[in-house]
Amino acid sequence: MKEQKYDLEERLLEYSVRIIKLVEQLPNTRAGNHVAGQLLRSGTSPYPNHGEAQAAESPKDFVHKLRIALKELRESKRWLRLIRKVPLIDDSKLVGDLLNETEELIKIFATSIKTAERKKT
């Protein structure tokens, strides 16, 4: 059995793709378009912010970029919960799966921030 390599960059890329695909399924209504725009922005932001963190100029800058990604993930979680609650799409499994991935990514970023802050001191 081959061990799966953990690659956060690839995982964030896949997350962004999944967000885009979900956004494309939202209805073309005032509410659907508003939520779509907000989720598209917040849900695709962690991927490039992770890249910014990798190119950080200092440990403080690194933590700052990770915090931005974490903030955007938390916002995405709220929009996904709203989509499910209304509901704005019929595929509740799709939203549920994305919510689960969002939660996991939030935990990863929160832990990474704590670790990086410990190393700074």
pLDDT, averaged across the chain: 94
pLDDT above 70: percentage of residues in the chain: 94
Residue 69 domain-assigned (yes or no): yes
CATH code for the domain of 56: 1.20.1440.60
pTM of the predicted model as reported, rounded to 2 decimal places: 0.92
- pLDDT tens-digit map of 25-76: 999 999 999 999 999 999 999 999 999 999 999 999 999 999 999 999 999 9
Mean pLDDT of 12-16: 98
Residue 3 domain-assigned (yes or no): no
Q: Any idea which residue has 């690839």 for tokens? A: 10
Decide: 69 and 109 in contact? Cβ < 8 Å.
yes
Long-range contacts of 91-100 (CB under 8 A, 24+ apart): 91/25, 94/22, 94/25, 95/22, 98/15, 98/18, 98/19, 98/22
Domain count, the chain: 1
Residue 58 domain-assigned (yes or no): yes
Residue 46 domain-assigned (yes or no): yes
Domain that holds residue 54: 8-120
pLDDT at 5: 52
Residue 2 domain-assigned (yes or no): no
Residue 1 domain-assigned (yes or no): no
